[in-house]
Amino acid sequence: MSKKIAILGAGNGAFAMAGDLALQDFEVAIWSSKKARLEAIWETKTIEVVGPTVQGQAKLALVTDHIGDAIRGADVICMPIPPHFPSLRRPQLWSPSLKMDRLSSLPPDHLAPFSWPGR
């Protein structure tokens, strides 16, 4: 069974990460608070990956602007987004869906802008 990975963000890093992981047969969900950022892949759920070592049509499991849907059931949560990203400053938008029994990929400088609600 493949691991489910949620990618929070829709910039170059998020698309590269989503495409690469999907081509490695992970079940990938990608989220952005702005649906327009996902418009190019909204219907097809496909990212074309072109690079020196990896190429292909990466099929994503989910493309969404609802963060709870992206996080639900994920084994790993990745946030390849800058720490100044507005939604990170409002963890109440996404932290109710986050269970601490999952591995989260969060660079250290991401923790400074907010504190966990209820802690």
* pLDDT tens string 13-61: 899 999 999 999 999 999 998 999 999 999 999 999 998 999 999 999 9
77 assigned to some structural domain: yes
Domain that holds residue 51: 4-110
DSSP 8-state secondary structure symbol assigned to residue 21: H
Sequence length of the chain is: 119
pTM for the model: 0.75
Q: What is the model's pLDDT at position 78?
A: 85
The per-residue pLDDT for range 53-98, each reduced to its tens digit, is 999 999 999 999 998 899 899 988 888 866 666 655 555 555 555 5
- Number of structural domains (the chain) is 1
Say which CATH number the domain at 94 has.
3.40.50.720
DSSP type of residue 95: G
Burial 56-82 (b: 16+ CB within 10 A, else e): eebebbbbbbebeebbeebebbbbbbe
Residue 27 resides in a domain:
yes
